Structure 1
Amino acid sequence: MAGFDRVLTRVENVLAAGSLGLAALVAIVAVLLRTITGQILFWSEEAVILLVITSTFLGAVVTLRYDEHVNVDLVALFLGERGKRVLALVGIAVTLVYLGIVGAFAWLVLAEPYARLTLTPALKLPLWLATLPVPVGFTLMFVRACEIASRMLRGRDPYPEKTAEREAEQAAEREAEGAAARDDEPGPRRADDGDGEAGR
């Protein structure tokens, strides 16, 4: 399972960061060309939009991995540890149903005739290729949610990366507080300080 998690994490990171980085690169090149040479990359705006959409849907997978999606935990405040665990399992089950249904319909949209016959205005890409990040993103999120559910059912930490990051931050804070406390401690008193006062 650890090997699968590493591979999935690498795929998520490369696709999300790569698409956003490529969007930034295209935008920078387009601006520089326009400023320096006066030439316009007519396709750059559409490319940047498609790449940002790609990074959004693939970045949502990374957000799920770190449990950073918006959620309201009011009910969990009134529950014990077992109740919180049951609520978390219900939540991930609902998430799986949602991702499964929407992801399946997203793949079906790609099979529609207009998705194959319609071309994007500037890049002249078939529409199915432009909308491919949607089903791919939902599929990756479904796979990641399955992994989270598997961890929950085995009684393990469902978000180990988030926990490790939190523990590292807490350790850094404790170290900083310890260093500040050491700096505030008075230094050794010199032997001649008192003698000097007494001699005056």
Structure 2
Amino acid sequence: MLDYVEETAVTVLLGTMVVVVFLQVIFRFILKSSLPWSEELARYLMVWAVFIGASMGAKVGAHIGVEAFVKLLPQRIGRYAPVLAGLITAAFCVIMVGLSLQVVQKIQGSGQVSPAMLIPMYWAYLALPVGFSLMALRSIQVVFEKLFLARGSAQ
């Protein structure tokens, strides 16, 4: 279910971004006028797509890893490296959720709005705690799969 929600969200966000940027190009070069909100909206759509997409990357193991280091470890220890990496990633993401929520609260309290669209800026910043929450969840999911599902399939 979460896979479907993430994939749909990223698809809608990126699709909308493409349409908005395309409209901006049409307006600027053909109609000799520009849409004042298009670049801002495209930027916020990209931020949301990146943070939700990072969660998808965490699930499939697409994030940068240091395989050369893992290969230097004895095989017995090296097989637990993905579990340790997942736990460290999850812990980092949980810390970032807390910190990013503080940022969102400060921005919400300030009443800051975006320059062109005049929407509350905290909506753009909410991508951080949402994205880090999803990445923490996915990292824990990967650790669980490595520890329990791999062991179950080996038996």
TM-score strictly above 0.5: yes
Aligned residue in 2 for 1:53: 47
SS in 2 for 1:122: coil
Q: Percent same amino acid among aligned pairs?
A: 26
Larger radius of gyration: 1
Q: Which amino acid aligns with 2:41?
A: A
Deviation at 1:104, TM superposition (A): 1.6
Q: Which amino acid aligns with 1:34?
A: R
Deviation at 1:111, TM superposition (A): 1.7
1:72 to 31, 54, 66: 66
Aligned residue in 1 for 2:136: 142
Q: Is residue 87 from structure 1 mapped to residue 72 from structure 2 by the alignment?
A: no
Cα deviation digits, residues 63-90 of structure 1 (max 9, x gap): 1122111111123213455322222221
Aligned residue in 2 for 1:27: 21
Pairs aligned (count): 150
SS in 1 for 2:113: coil
Query: Higher RCO, 1 or 2 (CA under 8 Å, sep at least 6)?
Result: 2
Q: Is residue 18 from structure 1 mapped to residue 33 from structure 2 by the alignment?
A: no
Q: Is residue 156 from structure 1 mapped to residue 117 from structure 2 by the alignment?
A: no
Q: Please, what TM-score do these two structures have when normalized by structure 1?
A: 0.69
Root mean square deviation, CA, Å:
1.7
Deviation at 1:49, TM superposition (A): 0.9
Mapping of 1:100-111 within 5 angstroms? 100-111=94-105
**Distance in 2, Cα, partners of 1:60 & 1:15:** 12
Aligned residue in 1 for 2:108: 115
Deviation at 1:94, TM superposition (A): 0.7
Q: Which amino acid aligns with 1:65?
A: K
- Indicate conservation of the 8 Å contact 2:59/2:141, yes or no: no
- Indicate conservation of the 8 Å contact 2:17/2:42, yes or no: yes
Deviation at 1:154, TM superposition (A): 0.2
Deviation at 1:115, TM superposition (A): 2.6
Q: Please, what TM-score do these two structures have when normalized by structure 2?
A: 0.87
Deviation at 1:155, TM superposition (A): 4.3
Mean Cα deviation higher: 43-52 or 59-68: 59-68
Q: Which amino acid aligns with 1:124?
A: L
**Distance in 2, Cα, partners of 1:66 & 1:19:** 20
